[in-house]
Amino acid sequence: MTTADGIPGASPTLPTTAVPPGAHPAHPHPHPRWPHATLDTRGHRPVPFRQFVLKVHSRCNLACTYCYVYEGQDGSWRHRPVRVGEDTMRTAAARIGEHVAAHRLRRIRIELHGGEPLLSGPGPVLAYARAVRAAVPTDCRITATVQTNGTLLTEDTVGRLAAAGLRVGLSLDGGLAAHNARRRDHAGRPAWPAAHRAARLLAVRRDAYAGILCTIDLGAAPRGVYHSLLDLAPPAVDFLLPHGNWAAPPPGLDPGARPGRHRPRPTPYGDWLAALFDAWWDAERAPVRIRLFHEIVALLLGAPSTAEAVGLSPLAAVVVDTDGAIEQVDSLKSAYPGAPATGLDVRRHPFDDALRHPGIAARQLGERALAGTCRRCPVHRVCGGGNYVHRYAPGSGFRHPSVYCADLERLIRHVAHRLSHTTQPRPNPPTSPL
Ligand code: SF4
């Protein structure tokens, strides 16, 4: 699961004392020194949550080889209820309503997730969305999406979700069977035929189609992935770097590297994304919104970021698991077992308590949370140190440059070059920080 946004807008009302971190009882694992023991939150004004990731089902019908939830070290899903109960839905919804009212939020997003959220059919997804809508003040606009692997999506399900105002995001690794070879069910059967059917269903239901999440595979040619995805007609594509860190680098990066800047070094992901950017940028009319590129271009032009992959905007996302536990984003599971745990749950704690958790506060501190290397880096306002989870090193924690540091700089400089080349003839060219 990979979605989490940072949305600016600070709350002046909350104190900044950190609550002690908690780990899931099944996985007591020492949290790293930073941020859990040494975070300095003086002067920090927490930013209210605006994105609520609600777990509907804690299991998945697929066993993708790179999955950090089910194939990684964190087995906390084994100890959660398989399905979210009605009581948990109501309590979580009431907490969201309380948070929205306390901070006078006018707009929030809810994302119905798993596991695979449609494993019990669309009923629980629809019920959760209804519960939140009933609990939130009517002057707050709610955008609701379901993130699915698509294998269980039928025309009837799409129709019911669309009728309830929910949009569907699909997780794929490209638009061809070969791109999706790592996505298989527990018996080893490919997920692609069913997922492809889902993509075709959504292509004719634009009102219900949120877009595609695509994890980068260096073994696939970037232009081939790009054009095959265009054939599925998504309104947007989110390209995600495979999760990794300094202890467990992603495929293709040096397993012996240590945090810091080790230049020059190969930049396979930067090269891959730069080739993809050129295919997208050189199209006569950009046929699809690619969020990472929109973000980088906007940041280069001086706008704030709205995604966690780049930029310095505060993270405003929180997770509620099927047992009601308030968690940080799932991608932290790629760092160490129990990393997303806060020790809080919706029955006993308001979301404001989670805002004071050091793991969440650290992701709202912007430049103050960066390593010295990053603060001195010429592209840091655009890069933002990269995705927080990619900065992890055992013991010391998350105050390091991204394990993708060289790749990010390669991509950002490439985009800046293309942007400045394109905009030079304009009468008022935007200034680039590079
Ligand atoms: S490129 Fe990004 S991760 Fe690397 S030093 Fe600069 S800001 Fe930090």
> Which ligand 1 atom is at minimum distance from the Cα of 404?
3
Tell me the residue type at 207: D
pLDDT tens by residue, 275-324:
999 999 998 777 899 999 999 999 999 998 888 789 999 999 999 999 99
Collapsed DSSP state (helix, strand, coil) of residue 202: helix
Q: What is the mean pLDDT of the chain?
A: 89
Q: What are phi and psi of 424, to 5 degrees?
A: -55, -40
Tell me the residue type at 96: I
Q: Are 400 and 392 in contact (CB under 8 A)?
A: yes
Q: How many CB atoms lie within 10 A of CB 322?
A: 23
Our answer on whether the CB atom of 408 is closer than 6 Å to any ligand 1 atom is yes
Lowest model confidence (mean pLDDT) among 6-10, 247-251, 352-356: 6-10
Strands (E), 163-256: 166-172, 209-215, 236-240
For residue 383, the CA-to-ligand 1 centroid distance in Å is 6
pLDDT of the residue at 12: 34
For residue 409, the CA-to-ligand 1 centroid distance in Å is 7
Write the DSSP assignment of 275-339 as a string of letters.
Answer: HHHHHHHTSSS--SEEHHHHHHHHHHTTPPP-SSSSSSPPB-EEEE-TT-EEE--GGGGGTSTTT
pLDDT at 5 over 80: no
Our answer on whether the CB atom of 433 is closer than 6 Å to any ligand 1 atom is no
Residue of 245, 383, 398 to mutate, ligand 1, most atoms within 8 A of C-beta: 383
pLDDT of the residue at 328: 96
Collapsed DSSP state (helix, strand, coil) of residue 6: strand
pLDDT of the residue at 335: 93
Our answer on whether the CB atom of 362 is closer than 6 Å to any ligand 1 atom is no
Structure-token match 């704030």, residue found: 304
For residue 396, the CA-to-ligand 1 centroid distance in Å is 18
pLDDT of the residue at 68: 75
Our answer on whether the CB atom of 374 is closer than 6 Å to any ligand 1 atom is yes
Give the helix/strand (H/E) hosting 109: strand 107-113
At residue 378's C-alpha, the angle toward residues 364 and 363, to 5°, is: 10
Residue nearest ligand 1's atom 5 by CA: 374
Check residues 205 and 71 and name the one with the higher pLDDT: 205
C-alpha neighbours within 13 Å on the C-beta side of residue 186: 4
For residue 122, the CA-to-ligand 1 centroid distance in Å is 42
For residue 411, the CA-to-ligand 1 centroid distance in Å is 11
Tokens of 69: 């939830």
pLDDT tens by residue, 78-112:
889 999 999 999 999 999 999 999 999 999 999 99
pLDDT at 416 over 60: yes
Domains and CATH numbers, the chain: 45-250+263-420 (3.20.20.70)
Average pLDDT of span 110-135: 97
The pLDDT-based confidence of 434 (bands split at 50, 70, 90) is very low
Give the highest mean pLDDT range of 56-65, 121-130, 252-261, 276-285.
121-130
For residue 373, the CA-to-ligand 1 centroid distance in Å is 7
Strand partners, 185: 62
pLDDT of the residue at 261: 56
Tokens of 132: 């939140």
Residue 306 CA to chain centroid, in angstroms? 11
Residue of 310, 370, 374 to mutate, ligand 1, most atoms within 8 A of C-beta: 374
Q: How far apart are CA 409 and CA 402, in angstroms?
A: 10
> Which ligand 1 atom is at minimum distance from the Cα of 377?
6
pLDDT of the residue at 409: 96
Our answer on whether the CB atom of 115 is closer than 6 Å to any ligand 1 atom is no
> Which ligand 1 atom is at minimum distance from the Cα of 373?
5
Which long-range contacts does 86-89 make (Cβ < 8 Å, 24+ apart)? 86/127, 88/320, 88/322, 88/323, 88/324, 88/346, 89/124, 89/127, 89/128, 89/131
| Percent of the chain whose pLDDT exceeds 90 | 78
> Which ligand 1 atom is at minimum distance from the Cα of 405?
4
CB-based contacts of 390: which residues, under 8 Å, 6+ apart? 241, 243, 244, 245, 402, 403, 404
For residue 264, the CA-to-ligand 1 centroid distance in Å is 14
Tokens of 278: 């050129």
pLDDT tens by residue, 15-62:
333 334 444 444 456 789 999 998 998 989 999 999 999 999 999 999
Q: How far apart are CA 238 and CA 295, in angstroms?
A: 11
pLDDT tens by residue, 61-77:
999 988 877 666 777 88
pLDDT tens by residue, 334-391:
999 999 999 999 999 999 999 999 999 999 999 999 999 999 999 999 999 999 999 9
Our answer on whether the CB atom of 402 is closer than 6 Å to any ligand 1 atom is yes
Residue nearest ligand 1's atom 8 by CA: 374
Residue nearest ligand 1's atom 7 by CA: 380
pLDDT of the residue at 263: 59
C-alpha neighbours within 13 Å on the C-beta side of residue 325: 22
Classify residue 278 as exposed, middle or buried by CB count within 10 Å of its CB (0-12, 13-18, 19+).
middle
The pLDDT-based confidence of 260 (bands split at 50, 70, 90) is low
pLDDT of the residue at 423: 59
Average pLDDT of span 170-191: 96
Our answer on whether the CB atom of 196 is closer than 6 Å to any ligand 1 atom is no
51-55 vs 289-290, strand pairing mode: unpaired
pLDDT of the residue at 262: 57
C-alpha neighbours within 13 Å on the C-beta side of residue 86: 2
The pLDDT-based confidence of 6 (bands split at 50, 70, 90) is very low
Q: Could you give the strand order of the β-sheet that contains 141-148, starting from the edge strand earlier in sequence?
A: 289-290, 236-240, 209-215, 166-172, 141-148, 107-113, 51-55, 317-320, 325-327, 341-345
Average pLDDT of span 174-178: 97
Structure-token match 């490209």, residue found: 174
pLDDT of the residue at 166: 98
Our answer on whether the CB atom of 400 is closer than 6 Å to any ligand 1 atom is no
pLDDT of the residue at 180: 96
For residue 258, the CA-to-ligand 1 centroid distance in Å is 14
pLDDT of the residue at 259: 80
Q: Where are the alpha helices (DSSP H) in 12-122?
A: 33-36, 86-103
Average pLDDT of span 147-176: 97
Q: Measured between alpha carbons, how far is residue 274 from residues 240, 348, 379, 409, 413 in Å?
A: 14, 47, 16, 11, 9
